[in-house]
Chains A and B, each alone.
Chain A
Amino acid sequence: AQTVTQSQPEMSVQEAETVTLSCTYDTSESDYYLFWYKQPPSRQMILVIRQEAYKQQNATENRFSVNFQKAAKSFSLKISDSQLGDAAMYFCAYRSRLSGNTGKLIFGQGTTLQVKP
């Protein structure tokens, strides 16, 4: 079974600075997706960024980028030029691409990010 681990329950960053959130995962599969989701106090989960495991190039979305290390099973999220609106809980998630899989997401425990003005 696949597992996702986020070892940082809470992180803090100064506005305009850069912060990195860590995620490790365990799987025996070679074909999968990895995601970072943002959950603000409204509870609405928002997709921040995704990475296909077969792609070596790290995904980037504006101020958000990932460091995907497939051999190490590591998938960190870097937020550059942090803004007050980035304050939220962030979840790392895994999704298999194997036959028979339903597309369900497997989540880590989450990291609460505080942004200080």
Chain B
Amino acid sequence: GAGVSQSPSNKVTEKGKDVELRCDPISGHTALYWYRQSLGQGLEFLIYFQGNSAPDKSGLPSDRFSAERTGGSVSTLTIQRTQQEDSAVYLCASSLAYQRLASYNEQFFGPGTRLTVL
């Protein structure tokens, strides 16, 4: 079956422009995560969606970052007025619904979008 897909694969933009990054999760996965991987650093959590529940936005680094998930499927991460420090690989992951005491549900990752802000 199809895995998690992300588009575009690479994005080059100029400082100050807005960008949109797209994630298509695995069909049937209700949990969706966005992570950011900056050069030389590990991945940092950005935002989490679970079904129709309010998203956990605790990892978003500034109010220039926002994300939405339409119809419980596709998600879009938007970065407004991009800065050079936003350059990174943005990874999306999906899993079956997260339940604390349930059997472990693996997060499946997409190939990421490499964002370069000039």
Interface residues in chain A, defined as those with a beta carbon under 8 Å from any beta carbon in chain B: 4, 6, 33, 42-47, 50, 52, 91, 97-99, 101-110
Contact = CB atoms under 8 A, between A and B. Distances in A.
Given A43-B112, A45-B109, A103-B31, A110 B42 contact: yes
B56 interface: yes
A99 B100 contact: yes
Interface residues of B, number: 29
Given A43-B89, A44-B111, A97-B100, A105 B43 contact: yes
B106 A109 contact: no
B42 A102 contact: no
Contacts of B98: 102-103
Given A43-B89, A104-B59, A4 B42 contact: yes
A6 B23 CA distance: 29
Contacts of A106: 45
A101 B59 CA distance: 13
A105 B48 CA distance: 11
18 contacts: A6-B42, A43-B112, A46-B109, A47-B106, A52-B104, A91-B42, A102-B50, A102-B98, A103-B33, A103-B95, A103-B107, A104-B33, A104-B45, A104-B48, A105-B35, A105-B43, A105-B107, A107-B42
Nearest to A109: B42
